Amino acid sequence: MPLATSTWGFREKIATSKVVFSGQVTMSQNVRKFESDFSDRIGSNWSIMVNSGSSANLLAAAAFRLRYSEEEFQSRNEVLVPTVSWSTTYFPWHQLGFKLKFVDVSIADFNIDSKKVLEAIDNKTVGICVVHLLGAPANLESLKNLASEHDLFLFEDACEAMGSKIQSQNVGTFGDMGSFSTYFSHHISTGEGGFVVTDDEKTAHQLISLRAHGWLRNLPQENFVSTKTGDSWLDQFRFYLPGYNLRPMETQAAPGIIQLKKLTKFNELREKNALHYRESLKQIPWLNLQQPQFDSTWFAFGHIINPESGIDRKVIVERLKEIGVESRPVVTGSFVKNPVVKLLNCVNANENFEIADLVEEKGFMIGNHPYDIRKRLDKLVKNLSQLS
């Protein structure tokens, strides 16, 4: 059982081939359609496609930075981030001049702990970065209230949670902006790719400009960045924001349009696997599976070994390898343990984070898939039960 497998069928390959033979491989009509379809599916007013989920996080951070004058930013620039997540949850904030303030996670779902968020907020806090780890929605109701009460922005990294919901609303649409990934191993795949979603038109216009060099070429004459000169010759190469080139390819969007239609079915199969696995694991009392508090799409299966069990994680990893099951740390474990942290602008990386440390030392994850793997999971449980 590998960590991830391809979900592309014949139609995705044909769609990609048509783009290649058309000669129009850079951002065009397929990207526009994919963006429109994605907004309809996720429930956002605007969806801006980029070349990766990591780029989506960078683009969102750049748009947030535009909200503050230099004077405001010098006095209030700390973003609260979960101590367990992927690297590009953190890097964009650092790269845009924000300071990272780590917050420990919940033992149940490995997401940022809203009670500890409240304790971490002070007069330097400017925003909260929420990550829906392994598909499990964080406590958005509480976090959204905290953001509103303390005048903070709320950003959702939903790269591992496409289709996860809280009371029928898709995660990624609760905050000021949300990011999604369409990487090879994620809920739908364009190989590489991602989205930033927002309901705010001004933010959307900034994102569109930032995505492509900081020009206005893809915006209307009257927009929230700047009015165009009206001279089409000049407007082609006039720059207004310190942007990037994060544009996606038509070869990413064309198969993505087809993949998006399969998302509901893919997620139903992931959830069936998860329900079966969760029930099967009850026979292994020393192994705790991630416990989502809301409707998860189960990107992967995260576990924590009971520290009192005496079971060595290395033994588990070796047994999984013997039966052909790939395993990894729970994302990156505690991110503050990574050497790169010494190069980042962090407020409290030297603090103790009890739950993140437990994830670091006793956690591991295996892949879930958008097809039936229940028999393979039964074999896995049988083998792990022999270790107790």
What tokens does 360 get?
Answer: 């670091």
Say what the pLDDT of residue 75 is: 95
Band of pLDDT at residue 128, cut at 50, 70 and 90:
very high
DSSP for 211-251 reads HBTTBSTTS-SS-SS----S-HHHHTT-B-S---B-PPBHH
Say what the pLDDT of residue 147 is: 98
List, for residues 347-372, the tens digit of each pLDDT value. Answer: 999 999 999 999 999 999 999 999 99
Backbone angles phi, psi at 38, to 5 degrees: -65, -40
- Helix, strand, coil share (%) of the chain residues, nearest 5: 45, 20, 40
Say what the pLDDT of residue 272 is: 98
Say what the pLDDT of residue 169 is: 98
Say what the pLDDT of residue 110 is: 98
Contacts of 347 (CB under 8 A, 6+ apart): 78, 99, 100, 101, 102
What tokens does 188 get?
Answer: 């739908």
Quick check: helix, strand or coil at residue 47? Answer: strand
pLDDT over 70 for what percent of the chain?
A: 100
pLDDT at 388 over 90: no
pLDDT at 327 over 90: yes
Say what the pLDDT of residue 76 is: 97
Q: For 108, which DSSP code?
A: T
Catalytic residue among 94, 132, 150, 186: 186
pLDDT at 320 over 80: yes
Task: Round to whole Å and give the CA distance between 15 and 11.
Answer: 6
Quick check: helix, strand or coil at residue 173? Answer: coil
Structural domains of the chain, with CATH:
10-257 (3.40.640.10), 263-385 (3.90.1150.10)
pLDDT at 206 over 80: yes
- As a whole number, mean pLDDT of residues 36-64 equals 98
Say what the pLDDT of residue 180 is: 98
Say what the pLDDT of residue 7 is: 96
pLDDT at 84 over 90: yes
Cross-strand bridge partners of residue 166 = 169
Band of pLDDT at residue 318, cut at 50, 70 and 90:
very high
What tokens does 149 get?
Answer: 């009460």
Say what the pLDDT of residue 309 is: 93
Say what the pLDDT of residue 292 is: 97
Is residue 276 annotated as a catalytic residue, yes or no? no
Would you give the end-to-end CA distance of the chain in angstroms?
22
Task: Record the pTM.
Answer: 0.97
Residues in the chain: 388
Say what the pLDDT of residue 167 is: 95
Say what the pLDDT of residue 192 is: 97
pLDDT at 374 over 80: yes
Kindly report the average pLDDT of the chain as a whole number.
97
Say what the pLDDT of residue 115 is: 97
Contacts for 76-79: CB closer than 8 Å, 24+ residues apart: 76/123, 76/124, 76/125, 76/126, 77/124, 77/126, 78/122, 78/124, 78/125, 78/126, 78/347, 79/125, 79/126, 79/127, 79/128, 79/129
Say what the pLDDT of residue 100 is: 98
Say what the pLDDT of residue 136 is: 98
What tokens does 213 get?
Answer: 């060099």
Say what the pLDDT of residue 203 is: 98
List, for residues 131-150, the tens digit of each pLDDT value. Answer: 999 999 999 999 999 999 99
